[in-house]
Amino acid sequence: MADTPANEPQDARRTLLPGVFRNRQFARLWAATSISMFGNQLTFYALPIATYQLSGSAGVFASVMVASSVGLIVPSLVGGALTDRFDRRRLLLINNALLAPIVLAMGVCVSQHAWTALVALALVQSTIRALFRSADALRRDMVPEHQRLEANAVNQASIFACTVLSPLFGVALLSFAGFALVAVVDAGTFVAGFLLLLGVRDPAERVVAPQDLTGHVRTTVTDVGVGLGLVRRDRFLRLVVLSDVVFGLGYGVFMVNLLPWLDEVHHLDAGWYGGLVTVAAVAGLATSLALARFGARIEPIRLWKSAVVAGLVALVAYVGVAPTWLLVACFAVGAVDGALVLTAYGTIVQARYPSVVQGRIGSVSFLTFQVAFLVGLGAAGLAQGSISSVHLMQVYVLLAIPSAVLGWRAAGTARTPVAQWSVDVSDSELATSG
């Protein structure tokens, strides 16, 4: 096989691109997921604008966001079990095959102003995404331990690259032919990703015995219990989950309030919103590329604590009515914060826990964040009209500060060297993991 050997020394892989791309399986997976991610980001950027502009209703806009969040909650529990038990490549293929026609149908709904159907499709779309979240686990299996931080950084770089391009393409496509063309492009990226995934194989061998419906439900509940048990008994995970819950509440307030806040306070239109997203994405992309190239020299805990500082700095623009230049700068710093913390967290968790239970941990963390996000989203949506957008944004700041403090404390619990980051998992828990 021509893929990079797991024991190849770091110094032998000095090329223009990060060395992890010499692993052909990883490169194919990265290309497939990045292409699909670009389409997702197009829709993520264009759908709220199209919905708000065409419906003229903040209620419709909030309903679409709530539906997109509700669908991510309960299925994410089953998604972790599916990720750990079955062929992850096949799960990704199913994901792409199902989402392509759904995105096309969403385009039709927007063009016909069928808002109820759009909300239903947003719910279905988010449910499918939650059930088939396999890319991270599959990427983890393909990369040797010494390249994990590099692989996580490369993944974050692709996320920010897609976020850089999507506002530019989104504005062009919306102005040229409306959201229907955005939907067509998004569906096309899923098809392209599907074709690329045909050349990827799942390196992990899984032999799963057939189960009846009752047995599958029992196993799923047990799988979730494994993740909850690990979170309950490990201080690092407890602090991370608490931080995610508090930040999720604040982020829900932030997202439902952002467009009205930009319009009412800064008098910025959708074009400015796209510009802010692009500036932030460029900053995040530059950070991720730097981490991919030089991150192996930096302890992940230091990255995390740097992210906490950057996140606190980024809050300055939301305390009051900041000048536009400060708002742009804080968007950029916030993106740096995201790139640092996601790269550091992924690297720490992959080192601390056996691969067989990481899907359960991810599902529990994802679930708690999404529930908190939905609560914050709904509460802010109900509060709009009775509370000004400035005060709602200050609520976000008040929630983001304790979340940062909890994140700093979580980083402090992972100070042991990477080789010792290992949390024991009982035999019974491993047995339930297949």
Highest mean pLDDT among 33-37, 97-101, 148-152: 97-101
| Total number of domains constituting the chain | 1
Confidence check: pLDDT of 190 > 50: yes
Q: What is the pTM assigned to this prediction?
A: 0.67
pLDDT of the residue at 191: 94
Residues 196-233 pLDDT 10s: 888 887 665 544 444 444 555 566 666 667 777 778 87
**What are the phi and psi torsion angles at 387 (to 5°)?**
-125, 135
Percent of all residues in the chain with a pLDDT value above 90, rounded to a whole number: 11
pLDDT of the residue at 53: 77
Does 8 map to a domain?
no
Chain centroid to Cα 307, Å, comes to 16
Residue 384, SS3?
strand
Find the range with the poorest average confidence among 68-77, 89-98, 261-270, 392-401: 68-77
pLDDT of the residue at 223: 65
pLDDT of the residue at 6: 43
Does 425 map to a domain?
no
Residues 307-327 pLDDT 10s: 888 888 888 888 777 788 888
Q: What would the mean pLDDT of 260-273 be, rounded to a whole number? A: 74
The confidence band for 409, taking pLDDT boundaries of 50, 70 and 90, is confident
Confidence check: pLDDT of 154 > 70: yes
Which has more confidence, 284 or 84?
Answer: 284
The CATH number of residue 330's host domain is 1.20.1250.20
Which has more confidence, 355 or 24?
Answer: 24
Does 433 map to a domain?
no
pLDDT of the residue at 23: 77
Residue by residue, what is the 3-state secondary structure of the chain?
Answer: CCCCCCCCCHHHHCCCCCHHHHCHHHHHHHHHHHHHHHHHHHHHHHHHHHHHHHHCCHHHHHHHHHHHHHCCCHHHHHHHHHHHHCCHHHHHHHHHHHHHHHHHHHHHHHHCCCHHHHHHHHHHHHHHHHHCCCHHHHHHHHCCHHHHHHHHHHHHHHHHHHHHHHHHHHHHHHHHHCHHHHHHHHHHHHHHHHHHHCCCCCCCCCCCCCCCHHHHHHHHHHHHHHHHHHHHHCHHHHHHHHHHHHHHHHHHHHHHHHHHHHHHCCCCCHHHHHHHHHHHHHHHHHHHHHHHHHHHHCCHHHHHHHHHHHHHHHHHHHCCCCCHHHHHHHHHHHHHHHHHHHHHHHHHHHHHCCHHHHHHHHHHHHHHHHHHHHHHHHHHHHHECCECHHHHHHHHHHHHHHHHHHHHHHHHCCCCCHHHCCCCCCHHHHHHCC
Does 7 map to a domain?
no
pLDDT of the residue at 422: 42
Confidence check: pLDDT of 292 > 90: no
The confidence band for 428, taking pLDDT boundaries of 50, 70 and 90, is very low
Does 207 map to a domain?
no
Q: What would the mean pLDDT of 295-310 be, rounded to a whole number? A: 79
Does 421 map to a domain?
no
Q: Is 178 left (phi over 0), alpha (psi -120 to 50) or beta?
A: left
Q: What would the mean pLDDT of 99-107 be, rounded to a whole number? A: 93
Average pLDDT, the chain: 76
Q: What would the mean pLDDT of 41-56 be, rounded to a whole number? A: 80
Confidence check: pLDDT of 99 > 80: yes
Find the range with the poorest average confidence among 190-199, 303-312, 362-371: 362-371
pLDDT of the residue at 296: 67
The confidence band for 80, taking pLDDT boundaries of 50, 70 and 90, is low
Structural domain for 264, as ranges = 20-202+215-416
Residues 159-175 pLDDT 10s: 777 767 777 777 778 77
Does 431 map to a domain?
no
Which has more confidence, 227 or 430?
Answer: 227
pLDDT of the residue at 201: 74
Does 422 map to a domain?
no
pLDDT of the residue at 396: 92
